[in-house]
Amino acid sequence: MQILFLSGHLPSPRSRQAGQKISYYIGEFLAKRHNVHLLCFATEGELGSFHGEGAEIFHCWDALPVNSLARLAGVISSPRLPVSVAARNSRAFRRKLQQLSRTHRFDAVLLDHTAMWQYANHLIDAPLCGGIAHDVLSQLWERRASRACGLSTCALRFESKRIRAWESQALSKLDLVVSLSAKDDALLVQLQPEVKRLVIQPWVACAANGGSILRSDRKPKSVVFWGALDRAENVDAVALAVHDIIPRVRDAVPDFRFYVAGSRSEKIRSITDGLPNVIRTGFVDDICGFLSGMQVGLLPIRQGAGVKIKTLECMAAGVAVVTTPMGAEGIAASHGVHFLIGETAEELASYTVRLLNRPEEARQMGERARDWFASEYDFGRAMAALEYFLVANAGRIAKRESSSSCAVGVCQDQPNRQCAAAKTIE
C-alpha cells in the first residue's frame, strides 16, 4: 500500500516527547510492508536531528518548519477554528498536501494528532482516511476550564465547547479513528457514535517484552518523577510534589531522595534547586536503566488528558508507582495490586512513605506491575489490527500507478530520502 502519514509533530525515535515517539513507531511498523510517505510540521531543532536518525523508515518525507509565529498566524487566519486546531492551520501545508494528492494515488491517509484532522477536507480522490487521537482535546480543555480562576474560566469554557463541536464534526469525516486507550475510545464514541473505531496500545520505551531487566540493586529509599519538563502538566506535578508531598515524606523518612528526571529540566530550576532531598538530574538517555534502579515512582499528575506514558514506563520497568486518578487514567491495572492511587497530597505522601519503609512490598508491587504490563500490552499485535483494517478497506479505492516524476514534497523515484521541498522554509 501507499500510505500518507500527516503529523502535527515530527515523528522521531530520539524525540524527548512520548507522543512523537509513538508516532514514529506507528510509522515504522507500517513501513515494514508498505510505502509510508511522511508530511509533517517540525521545529528547526527537530529537523536537525532527524536527518541522522528516523528518516530512513519513510519512503519519502517532507516537513514544514514551524515556530510560535507560524502557529500564531494560523490562529489569526482561522478564527472559526478552535485555537489548538488553528495553530496547525497552514496555507503552505495545504499546498504541499494538494500537490501530493494530485501526483500520487494514496491507498490510505493517517492524520496523526487531532488537530491534523482538519486536513481531511483537502484530500483529493477520497482515499481511506483515519485519524489518530493521542488524547481527546475536548476533555483536555474542559479540565483546563475546571481548574481556571477569574475571567479566564469563561474563556476556557467557551473554547472547550468550540473544541467539542469541532471534534464531533471532524470525526464524521473520518473512515476510522484510532485511540490509545479504552477510556479515550469511550469519549470519542460519545462525540460521534457512527465513526469506526480502533484502540491500539501506545509504544512504551520500557516494554517488558523489549527486555528491561528487574534489578535487585535498586537505590534504597529512592523516589523518581520522569517526564518532559517543558510541559505544563509535568511542571505542575513537580511543584505539587516538592511543595506538598516531599515535606511530608521527609518527616517520616529523612534520608530518602527524590530524583526529578526529564528534558528541559532548566524550566523547573526555580522549583527544585536548593531543596533538601530533591535532585534534578536533567534528561536521561537510558530511561529504562534509570527507572529500573529506582524504588518508587511518584507521579502526582493533576492536568492533561490521554493515557500517561510515564506511568506505563515506570510499571514496565518494575517500579512501584504512586499516582493520582489522572495519572492512572486509561490504564486498566488495579489499585493496591499494581500501583497505589491517591487523591490528596496527604494520601500520596502516605503511600510513598509506606513503600519506602517496606522495600519488599515495593519490590513485589513493581514485579506485579511489570508482569501485568507484559501480559496486557503488545504494541505489535495492536498495530497488526490497524494494518489489517487499512489493507482490507483500502481495496475499495480504485488504484492507478503513481506519477514517476518527483512532485513537491515527494521523491517516489528516490526512496528514503528527504524531498527537496523540505529544505525550504515557507
The correct CATH number of 2-204+378-423 out of 3.40.50.1000, 3.30.360.10, 3.40.50.2000, 3.40.50.11290 is 3.40.50.2000
129 neighbors 171 (Cβ within 8 angstroms): no
pLDDT tens by residue, 97-124: 988 888 888 999 999 999 999 999 888 7
Q: Where in the chain is the domain with CATH 3.40.50.2000?
A: 2-204+378-423, 208-376
Q: Strand, helix or coil at 130?
A: strand
Encode the chain (426 residues) as per-residue pLDDT tens digits: 999 999 999 998 888 788 899 999 999 999 999 999 999 999 887 777 676 567 889 998 999 999 999 999 999 999 999 999 999 999 999 999 988 888 888 999 999 999 999 999 888 776 899 999 999 999 999 988 888 888 788 888 999 999 999 999 999 999 999 999 999 999 999 999 999 999 999 999 887 544 444 555 789 999 999 988 888 899 999 999 999 999 999 999 999 999 999 888 888 999 999 899 999 998 888 888 899 999 999 999 999 888 999 999 999 999 999 999 999 999 999 999 999 999 999 999 999 999 999 999 999 999 999 999 999 999 999 999 999 999 999 865 444 333 333 333 434 334 444 553 333 223
Grid coordinates standing for 139? 476533555
Q: Strand, helix or coil at 255?
A: coil
Instruction: Report pTM.
Output: 0.88
Other CB atoms within 10 A of residue 259 CB? 21
d(CA 258, CA 372) in angstroms, rounded, equals 26
Domain covering 208-376: architecture: 3-Layer(aba) Sandwich (3.40)
Burial group, residue 89, by CB count within 10 angstroms (0-12, 13-18, 19+): buried
* C-alpha torsion sign, points 171, 28, 95, 123: negative
d(CA 80, CA 75) in angstroms, rounded, equals 9
What pLDDT, on a 0 to 100 scale, did the predictor assign at position 364? 95
Q: Strand, helix or coil at 251?
A: helix
What pLDDT, on a 0 to 100 scale, did the predictor assign at position 211? 40
pLDDT tens by residue, 317-348: 999 999 999 999 999 999 999 999 999 999 99
Task: Give the H or E element holding residue 257.
Answer: strand 257-261
